[in-house]
Amino acid sequence: MRILAIETSCDETGIAIVEGTKTEGGFAFTVLGSALLSQAALHAPYGGVYPNLAKREHEKNLPILFEKFKDEKVDAIAVTKGPGLEPALWTGITFAQKVAKERGLPLLPTNHMEGHLLSSLVKNGNLEDVKLPVLALLISGGHTEFVLMREWFTYEIVGQTLDDALGEAFDKVARMLALPYPGGPEISRLAEAAREAKQKSDFAPLGSSQRSQNQTSVSLPRPMIGTKDCDVSFSGLKTAVLYALRDRGGIQSLSAEEIAGFAREFEDAATDVLVHKTRRALEESGAQTFVIGGGVAANKHIRKSLEIVVKENFNEVEMRLPELSITGDNAIMIAEAALTRALSGKKDAATDEIRAVGNLSISSLT
Ligand code: KG4
Ligand code: ZN
């Protein structure tokens, strides 16, 4: 079965064609084509995604991307119905409706978070041999949630952010540190550099100039790290960065090393919280598979730290990490989620109606 999928939930316009077949252990996917246009540079001056600009850009980009695929034969069209920015979602839905009608093809409305989750479970092109229950940590610009999949296509949110999504916190802290949007990759790059520099200085002789740099390093809280649940909160961490910056006379009084030190401590704090809560969620759920997905799942330090905690404490749990090419928003993940459902003969009642739903929850799926 071949599906052409359209993704326009945020600031990436994506179209992809994926072929899927049922195999003994699950599903095999072949990506036949994928095109993605990022609007990040356009939104950068606003420090975040500006919905009406996103809508206009999707409207402009969709026909351009579709040109590449217009002669391909497919069996169905899939489109993201939510969650996301409603004006942006509608552009994709309207476009998909038109294509499906012209070709007499079924239209499959698809949940963006299910796309992140299922595509992250794919290993070497195959969604096979997945041991249930699956615990997924979805970390993106709009979401931060622990999702438990006890059975295929049923999702229970067992923990989530009480305020900011992790990607949003990365982006806001980056902005405070005068780093460009999107801030996640920038913070990660600086944090990495600061970690390397620290390692070097740890081996430098006492009293050397390299050593003294660390004395000004900032220390940030680990919000909710000890609470007896799997919820997280990043708004206080963000505010702590703001105050720490103010205490030091503002960003303009900081050296490049000190800014990198802030980036590192912020990334460390967020990672510590995720590590603790993942441990708890794995213990409480008895999950057999752990997977991470969403834009922030590209973060090297988070990936490595979570791999270590699973390896050291949960011998029987298989960890799956998404390829870096699909952590950010894309249409391949929408095609794969739609294919997994279609090939299972599973149609979601909650997505029957083709309408953009900005706050669509993954737990509403059946
Ligand atoms: O999933 P995604 O592409 O869009 C949403 O559905 O929200 O996630 C985008 C988010 C942005 O906040 C971006 O800063 C963050 O993912 N991000 C990262 C990294 N790469 C992207 N955050 C931390 N480290 C990264 N390497
Ligand atoms: Zn996303």
> Which amino acid is present at 71?
D
Which protein residues have a CB closer than 5 Å to ligand 2 (ion)?
140, 329
CA of 82 to the centre of ligand 2 (A): 10
Under a CB-based contact definition with an 8 Å cutoff, are residues 85 and 17 in contact? no
255 Cβ contact list (under 8 Å, min separation 6): none
User: Does residue 83 line the site of ligand 1, with CB under 6 A?
Assistant: no
**Residue bearing the CA closest to ligand 1, atom 22:** 184
What is the C-alpha radius of gyration for the chain, rounded to an integer number of angstroms? 21
> Which amino acid is present at 272?
D
**Which of 119, 170, 323 is the pocket-test mutation for ligand 1 (most atoms within 8 Å of CB)?**
170
CA of 289 to the centre of ligand 2 (A): 21
Distance CA 91, CA 70 (A): 18
How crowded is the C-beta side of 256, counted as CA atoms within 13 Å?
4
**Which of 38, 117, 140 is the pocket-test mutation for ligand 1 (most atoms within 8 Å of CB)?**
140
CA distances (Å), origin 14, targets 39, 320, 360? 11, 24, 20
Q: What is the pLDDT along the chain (366 residues), one digit of tens a residue?
A: 999 999 999 999 999 999 999 999 999 999 999 999 999 999 988 888 889 999 999 999 999 999 999 999 999 999 999 999 999 999 999 999 999 999 999 999 999 999 999 999 999 999 999 999 999 999 999 999 999 999 999 999 999 999 999 999 999 999 999 999 999 999 999 999 999 988 888 877 766 655 444 446 899 999 999 999 999 999 999 999 999 999 999 999 999 999 999 999 999 999 999 999 999 999 999 999 999 999 999 999 999 999 999 999 999 999 999 999 999 999 999 999 999 999 999 987 556 668 999 999 999 998
**Residue bearing the CA closest to ligand 1, atom 7:** 141
- Pairing label, strands 126-128, 26-38: antiparallel
317's tokens: 């749990």
CA of 121 to the centre of ligand 2 (A): 15
Under a CB-based contact definition with an 8 Å cutoff, are residues 27 and 339 in contact? yes
Under a CB-based contact definition with an 8 Å cutoff, are residues 135 and 284 in contact? no
Distance CA 246, CA 239 (A): 11
Distance CA 269, CA 139 (A): 15
Peptide bond before 221: cis, by omega within 30 degrees of 0?
no
